[in-house]
Amino acid sequence: MIQTIRGTRDILPADIPLWQRVEEAAREAFRRYGYSEIRTPIIEKTELFTRGVGEATDIVHKEMYTFTDRNEESITLRPEATASVVRAYIQHRLYANRAPGEVTKLYYIGPMFRRERPQAGRYRQFYQIGGEVIGASDDPMIEAEVIEMLDWFLISLGIEDSQLLVNSVGDSHERGPYLEKLRESIAAVLDRLCNDCRHRYETNALRVFDCKFENCQEIIAGLPTITDAIGAESRAHFEQFKSHLDARCIAYTVNPRMVRGLDYYSRTAFEIIGGHLGAQNTLVGGGRYDGLAETIGGPPTKGFGFAFGLDRMVMSMPEAEAARVRERARPDVFLVHLGEAARNHAAFIARKLRAAGLAAGMDFTDRKMKKAMALASESGARFALIIGDNEIAAGVYALKNLETGEQQSLDVEAIIEKLKR
Ligand code: AMP
């Protein structure tokens, strides 16, 4: 039997209502905050990511699904979507006819692909929802508005135990000198760090801050942070961002050691950590990416955005909310028919109920009453509508509440009215 590829999975019908609930809440948040949806291809030129995300990042370095197409072109399954959205923004000149300082707000929903080691909350095909604010403005109020939107979104899903971490990773010209200083400091303690950290020191020194080993953590705590190295402008930007959060009564923790895994971030970076997710606990990640547009060949453009994993958001939904969502997804009624005439009549009634907007289930096989009622219960429907020869003759049908067992004889109009209530 052929099975799914390691790190990928089927999202089965029983869980789909939860996924749809997260998507619905996100779309509602985006609607309220003025974002439009964009759909970009899942495959892109490899160069988009090597240049955009950065050659030295884990994502590009070892996690991309890259293949050579029949015409020798190197193609990659997108590992993230910010680079694609910025590419589309430039390619279609979405900035044309914009007032000075006006920004474009875009969002996306879709699968991403990274060849990571699979574990709970980490997949090789996973799903992200993300938003990007692109344009000529780098006003820190944009950043606070994004966080405010995420705050609303999380609360609307009943997720109230998350934690917001913020940091400033400085401008690219500030990062250069800092990285040198950081590498010097790491060099002095290199023999006490783990193998992974030594590798990071060689390839991408900032990433040592990601190390989860307690032993390394103690040493890392003594390394210089980017926050101490940033200039007055970046500092002022960060202060303004924080004061906009304060004005919105949004709680946050400054974590000077939080560096994100993509090269394009500048200045403000943030993460939202989930309350009970285990090791893979980053729910949302985002930051500013001024300059990304230039690295992929576009005009100077500022940007700020975020992405969250749908997989992890679904896992974070509290049980009470999940139960409510599942309850809402139940069909309204299941039609039980007894005999061939009733089967045809049931199809006719089902059509009327469906036309009225009700979710009406029906089995096509002629069965005995007991088995047909069992199917009605298994369908999850709230009510069964029983149709036999007597009911057809009288034009009233037995509507049975499958939870209470209570039964009423009603005509179609009354049934529709009752079920809609
Ligand atoms: P990133 O694009 O790495 O900043 O990740 C943003 C968010 O996407 C994370 O906070 C996770 O919620 C989610 N995410 C990233 N990688 C994975 C993965 N391999 N499996 C599931 N979710 C992921």
DSSP letters for 7-51: T-----TTTHHHHHHHHHHHHHHHHHTT-EE----SEEEHHHHII
What distance in angstroms lies between residue 420's CA and the mean position of ligand 1's atoms? 40
Q: Which fold has domain 330-420?
A: Rossmann fold (3.40.50)
Of the CA atoms within 13 Å of residue 356, those in its CB half-sphere come to: 20
- pLDDT tens digit at each of 421 positions of the chain: 999 999 999 999 999 999 999 999 999 999 999 999 999 999 999 999 999 888 878 888 889 999 999 999 999 999 999 999 999 999 999 999 888 889 999 999 999 999 999 998 899 999 999 999 999 999 999 999 999 999 999 999 999 999 999 999 988 888 888 889 999 999 999 999 999 899 889 888 888 888 878 889 889 989 999 888 899 999 999 999 999 999 999 999 999 988 876 778 889 999 999 987 777 889 999 999 999 999 999 999 999 999 999 999 999 999 999 999 999 999 999 999 999 999 999 999 999 999 999 999 999 999 999 999 999 999 999 999 999 999 999 999 999 999 999 999 999 999 999 999 8
The answer to whether the CB of 126 is under 6 A from ligand 1 is yes
Q: Ligand 1 in contact with 311 (CB < 6 A)? A: yes
The closest of 310, 284, 302, 311 to 132, measured between CA atoms, is: 302
Q: Atom 11 (ligand 1): residue with closest C-alpha? A: 309
Q: What pLDDT is stored for residue 44 in this prediction?
A: 98
Choose among 73, 78, 70, 85: nearest CA to 50: 78
Longest dimension (CA), the chain: 92
Of 64, 284, 312, 314, best ligand 1 pocket probe by most atoms within 8 Å of the beta carbon:
312
**CA of 272, closest atom in ligand 1:** 10
For ligand 1, mutation pick of 57, 263, 282, 288 (most atoms within 8 Å of CB): 282
List the structure tokens of 183: 């590498």
Domains of the chain, by residue range, sit at 16-165+247-322, 172-229, 330-420
Mutational pocket test of ligand 1: of 85, 126, 304, the residue with most ligand atoms within 8 Å of the beta carbon: 126
Could you report how far apart the first and last alpha carbons of the chain are, in Å?
Answer: 47
Compute the distance from residue 223 Cα to the ligand 1 centre, in Å: 26
Nearest CA to ligand 1 atom 17: 122
Structure tokens at 118: 């699979």
Matching CATH number, 16-165+247-322, of 3.30.930.10, 3.30.70.1710, 3.40.1230.10, 3.40.50.300: 3.30.930.10
| Cα–Cα distance for residue pair 371/211, rounded to 1 Å | 58
Residue ranges of the alpha helices (H) in 190-225? 195-203, 214-220
Residue 387 token pair: 């149709």
Distance CA 162, CA 312 (A): 12
H helix runs in 123-272, sequence order: 140-156, 172-189, 195-203, 214-220, 226-229, 232-247
Measured distance CA(348)–CA(322) in Å, rounded: 34
Distance CA 334, CA 378 (A): 10
Provide the 10 A C-beta neighbour count for residue 218.
10
Match 């576009």 to its residue by tokens: 298
Does the Cβ of 116 fall within 6 Å of ligand 1?
yes
